[in-house]
Structure 1
Amino acid sequence: MKKEALVLLPGTLCDERLWEHQLEHLTDVSDPSVSMLTGADTIEGMAESVLKHAPERFALAGLSLGGIVAMEVIRQAPERVTRLALLDSNPHGPKPEQLESWKSLMSKVESGQFQSIVEEKLLPNLIHPGRQEDDQLVSTIKDMAERVGPEGYVQQLMAVSTRSDLREGLRQINVPTLLLVGREDQVCPLSLHEEMQATISESRLVIVDDCGHLSSLERPEEVTAALRNWLIE
């Protein structure tokens, strides 16, 4: 039997390594691939790029920025998405304080402070406090950020700065939907996922303990198990 295509969307400053465990361990139940979120500076443009390169019909999973783009993908082409997984994500539009913060970050990037932003501003918020000394995990995050680079980061900040509030569109989702969040996620907290669960009719919420924002990297086995259950349900 032909396996279902699975498109995985990484978060800000992430590449396919965010999904390394899932790419390796979900091949028996799916045909996984990663669509990079670079080259566009709007959520709509990123979603259009995903749709341009995706199979005709596919399962779709996104983490953080990837989840925001996934919500826009299913808004643009609901007939093409067979099932949806939103990990550590946020359906709200940007808040004024976020806009100010992102504007400041863009200014600092343009003045050559990209590396210090990654190490001093982003890393402390991206992973569980207990994983901050995990050299391999921290090295992977830094390497991914370096690959996306300052220009890609600015594009991603511009995209989230101009994004629409996607909450109303969640009511139209009628495919099996997994909502997954690290219990200690400080960027996209549990409350956002509980709100989405109350809105999406066919949704199931999975909470990963001892886990921050980058759940697929921090707790790869638990995330892969949840995605496996979602793919075969």
Structure 2
Amino acid sequence: MSPPQIVLIPGLMNDADLWRDQVSGLKDIAKPRVADITKGNTLAVLAEMVLATSADTFALAGFSLGGLVAQEVMRRAPERITHLALLDTTMLPDTPERAAEREALVAQAKKPGRFHGFGRKLARSYLSPVNQSNEDLIGRVRAMTERLGPEVFIRQTRIERPDSRASLTRIPCPTLVLCGRHDVLTPPSLHEDMARRIPGAELVILEESGHLTPIEEPDKVTASLRALLRRGTEPNARIAEASSET
């Protein structure tokens, strides 16, 4: 029997290097593939691109913006997803204030000159205190943003963030919800709420991470994904009970 496919979706201004350690750490039990979400301008388009380039059934992990894409994939084709992982992401729409902040960032990115997608100020927002001076880690993130450039930043930043709270309750497969303890962008309290809404979800909070868990604590993210893939694919109990009552 061939190993299952796991599709790994990066976040905003991330490319395949975000998942480098997980690809290496999962290849003995799965077929990892990193999705490309740099070309579409809506969650619907990105989700369809993921579905069109994936196996008939597959495990799915989404980080940050990639987690929003993963939730859209689940809404469109739940029967194709065997396992789901949502990392450092959200189920909430942008507030008017956050939407205005995004447009301000877009305006900044449109200015002429070299595009610096990950400076010191962003590092303080994205990384845990112990990693904010980690030059290797900062350089790795900056290299991704510079490879992708301002056009991708603008396109991804303007993607509408929907309210996904209702759809979380209908997720039928084994699910992992994971975030960093020091994630100030999508904090642990948000993930606790998310996990409560998903039937049978496992919540993992990594103590030494900020927002960038796949590169801040790569071994623990890999271990959590391996544990998820070992879980059975039977429908969660609450889903099965609900189906039997209809």
| TM-score, length basis structure 2 | 0.91
Instruction: Tell me the equivalent position of 1:183.
Output: 181
Within 2, Cα distance between the matches of 1:73 and 1:183?
Answer: 27
> Structure 2 CA distance, aligned partners of 1:124 and 1:41?
28
- Structure 1 distance, partners of 2:137, 2:97, is 29
RMSD: 1.2
1:4 aligns with 4
Q: What is the distance in 2 between the residues matched to 1:123 and 1:192?
A: 21
CA contact (8 A) 2:88 2:179 kept: yes
SS at match of 2:177: strand
For residue 112 of structure 1, report the CA deviation from its aligned partner. 3.0
Query: Which residue number in structure 1 is paired with residue 168 of structure 2?
Result: 170
| Correspondence 1:1-233 to 2 at 5 A | 1-112=1-112, 115-116=115-116, 118-159=118-159, 162-233=160-231
Residue 200 of structure 1 deviates from its aligned partner by 0.5
Structure 2: how far apart are the matches of 1:18 and 1:113?
A: 26
User: What does the per-residue CA deviation read over 1:127-148, in whole Å, with 9 as the maximum and x for residues that have no partner?
Assistant: 1122121111011000000111
The aligned amino acid for 2:115 is Q
Q: Radius of gyration: which is bigger?
A: 2
The answer to whether the 8 Å contact 1:29/1:232 transfers is no
C-alpha distance 113-204 of structure 1, shift in aligned 2 (>3 A) = farther
Higher normalized contact order (CA 8 Å, seq sep 6+, divided by chain length): 1
The residue type paired with residue 220 of structure 1 is P
CA deviations over 1:139-173 (Å, ceiling 9, x no partner): 100000011110001010011xx222111100110
Answer yes or no: is the 8 Å Cα contact 1:4–1:58 preserved in 2.
Answer: yes
Residues 197 and 99 of structure 1: CA distance in aligned 2, closer, same or farther (over 3 Å): same
Structure 1 contact 10–66 (Cα < 8 Å) conserved: yes
How big is each residue's C-alpha offset from its partner over 1:51-82, in whole Å with a ceiling of 9 and x where there is no partner? Answer: 11111110000110011110000001111111
The residue identity in structure 2 corresponding to 1:124 is R
In the superposition, relative to structure 1, how do residues 223 and 189 fare at CA in structure 2: closer, same or farther (>3 Å)? same
| Native 8 Å contact 1:61 1:86 kept in 2 | yes
CA shift at 1:2, angstroms? 1.1
Q: Provide runs of 4+ in structure 1 moved above 6 Å.
A: none
Secondary structure of 2:119's aligned partner: helix
Q: Structure 1 CA distance, aligned partners of 2:162 and 2:50?
A: 18
Report the TM-score, using the length of structure 1 for normalisation.
Answer: 0.96
Alignment check: 8 A CA contact 2:12 2:156 kept? yes
Q: What residue in structure 1 maps to residue 235 of structure 2?
A: none
The amino acid across from 1:221 in the alignment is: D
The answer to whether the Cα contact below 8 Å between 1:9 and 1:63 also exists between their aligned partners in 2 is yes
CA distance in structure 1 between the aligned counterparts of 2:81 and 2:55, rounded to whole angstroms: 10
The CA distance in 2 between the partners of 1:112 and 1:156, in whole Å, is 19
Q: Which amino acid aligns with 1:210?
A: E
3-state SS of the aligned residue for 1:115?
A: coil
On the 8 A contact 1:108/1:114 being kept in 2, the answer is: no
Task: Give aligned-pair identity as a percent.
Answer: 39
In structure 2, list runs of 5 or more residues that go unmatched: 232-246
Distance in 1 separating the partners of 2:24 and 2:196 = 32
Task: Flag structure 1 segments of 5+ consecutive residues without an equivalent.
Answer: none
